[in-house]
Amino acid sequence: MQHQDKHISDPELLQDIENELSAHAQKQVRAHLDLCWQCRTRRQELETAIADFVRAHQQEFEAILPPATAPRAMLKARLSQVPRIERAASSDRRFTWAILAMAGGLAAFILYVGLAPRTSRQAIVLSAPDARLTPGATLLENRQAVCAQANIKNKAVPVALQREVFAEYGVRGESHGYEVDYLVTPALGGAEDIHNLWPHSYSATVWNAKVKDELEDRLREMVCNGSLDLAEAQREIASNWIGAYKKYFHTNEPLQ
Amino acid sequence: MTTRSTVHPAVSAIGTGVSSGSSSSRERLEAEVVALFDELRDPLLRYLVSFGLVTADGEELLQEVFLALFQHLNQGKSKKNLRGWLFRVAHNLALKHRSKTQRDFAKRTQSQAAEFAREPGPNPEDQVQRSQAQQRLQAVVHALPEQDRLCLFLRAEGLRYREIAGILDISLGAVSISLARSLGRIARTAER
């Protein structure tokens, strides 16, 4: 400890500011500060530097931190799967669920699904899936893993699974007008699972499967160039893919 | 393949909030982890980003951090100073991630100080608000030696010297000297 005749070092002054000194050392420092204007000034400069840094730090990061909603939902999904992951690991599989439908998305689905009459079931599968049947499911893969794959687009869905999807949605006899589409495309980590599949019309609506393909390409490009978080892309396409299309293409109508 | 009629426990637990039949202690543990995520996600993400990671990679690492926390608590391990534990795990994962992507990271850190010095800000309004002094200060901070910079960021997130020393595996005295050196440089920047 330097005091009285010698000035106090910066680390000691800082420890005094931070209450990191022992009681004895603090007493000595305070005694010196009572007498030494130079050390008091230096102490004040360090306090000012802390305040300057805190302001700059806050300003630097406040603009770049994305909302916590999507990562929080993803964490909850992953936590609920921990035992399942352990079981999957034993069979060398990393498959898991992630439920991606959010409150906002549900509202959109109500618009497309919930208010439609049950008797016209096929009419409600024109543009968007039933969130209760198809909330979306993903593999537990990170951005690097997803982007390392060649652009796999929508891989073929097994015929038996397609039949199951059509049956669940009540599409019978006219299934030729539909593609069993992935809600979250495999190109964004979507899983080949019934919770991630729905019958999407090729042509009966402007918001058809071809338009959704454009969105999937755009989102994958953004995820892989780092301008969009993978979890956010999965959430947006699962909760309201039409809204996502409008957002990322800056249009209210399909560009096709 | 799972059918819709065979609802996986995760589906009801996440999608509807209805209990999946798992034990209440399990639910409490999950809730505890999520509560800590709510509290510490931003500070941890800031730390990871200040480490040189892009935000998306930081988010991915954070998921790993909190899954590790769940495992830690699930195994009945200590709950003492979980904040320090989380920062230490985040720090270690960031180091591991960086070693995998060393080339990109080196490129980013080399240009980072210069970017902070010359970038006017994301839009005209911000340009006005973001003073030249703050830009200079940010450039100085990003040009600090890594250990000094990490010390500073950890302290800014509210960690005590002892916690910082544990995370960075340095002595208490080294933390104090590092912080004083960094703040000294910042003070000199402010004088200009």
Lowest mean pLDDT among A122-131, B7-16, B61-70, B96-105: B7-16
Is the pLDDT confidence value at A129 over 90? no
The answer to whether B3 contacts chain A (CB < 8 Å) is yes
Q: How confident is the model at residue A89 (pLDDT cuts 50, 70, 90)?
A: very low
Structure tokens at B71: 């495992």
Q: Cα(A128)–Cα(A183) distance, rounded to whole angstroms?
A: 9
What are the residue boundaries of the structural domains of chain A, listed by start?
10-62, 69-249
How far out from the chain centre does Cα A186 lie?
16
Q: Which of A63, A84, A99 sits opposite B15 (nearest CB)?
A: A99
Structure tokens at A195: 């919770």
- pLDDT computed for residue A47 by the predictor: 95
Say if B187 falls within a structural domain.
no
- pLDDT computed for residue B176 by the predictor: 95
- What does the buried/exposed string (b/e) look like for B12-27 if buried means 16 or more CB atoms within 10 Å of the residue's CB? bbbbeeeebeeeeebe
B158 neighbourhood in chain A, CB within 8 Å: none
Say if B14 falls within a structural domain.
no
- pLDDT computed for residue B153 by the predictor: 94
Is the pLDDT confidence value at A152 over 60? yes
Number of neighbours of residue A247 by Cβ within 10 angstroms: 12
Lowest mean pLDDT among A194-203, A233-242, B45-54: A194-203
Is the pLDDT confidence value at A55 over 70? yes
Is the pLDDT confidence value at B132 over 80? no
**A77 neighbors A235 (Cβ within 8 angstroms):** no
Helical ranges in chain B per DSSP H? 9-10, 24-50, 55-74, 82-100, 102-118, 124-129, 132-142, 146-156, 161-168, 172-191
- pLDDT computed for residue B4 by the predictor: 46
The verdict on pTM exceeding 0.80 is no
Chain A and chain B share a number of CB contacts under 8 A equal to: 159
Q: What is the CATH number of the domain that holds B38?
A: 1.10.1740.10
Q: How confident is the model at residue B128 (pLDDT cuts 50, 70, 90)?
A: low
- pLDDT computed for residue A121 by the predictor: 40
Structure tokens at A17: 């500011």
Q: Cα(A213)–Cα(A173) distance, rounded to whole angstroms?
A: 25
Is the pLDDT confidence value at A125 over 50? no
Structure tokens at A241: 């893919």
- Closest approach of chain A CAs to the CA of B38, in angstroms? 8
Overall average pLDDT of the A109-126 stretch: 40
A76 neighbourhood in chain B, CB within 8 Å: 14, 30, 34
**B143 neighbors B73 (Cβ within 8 angstroms):** no
Q: Which of A20, A49, A50 sits opposite B176 (nearest CB)?
A: A20
Overall average pLDDT of the B78-94 stretch: 93
Is the pLDDT confidence value at B187 over 80? yes
Closest CA to A215 of A195, A234, A191: A234
Domain span holding position B81: 22-100
Of A141 and B65, the structure prediction assigns the larger pLDDT to B65
Q: Which of A10, A71, A195 sits opposite B59 (nearest CB)?
A: A71
B130 neighbourhood in chain A, CB within 8 Å: 59
Of A216 and B3, the structure prediction assigns the larger pLDDT to A216
Is the pLDDT confidence value at A122 over 50? no
- pLDDT computed for residue B36 by the predictor: 95
- pLDDT computed for residue B109 by the predictor: 56
**How much is the mean pLDDT over chain A?**
76
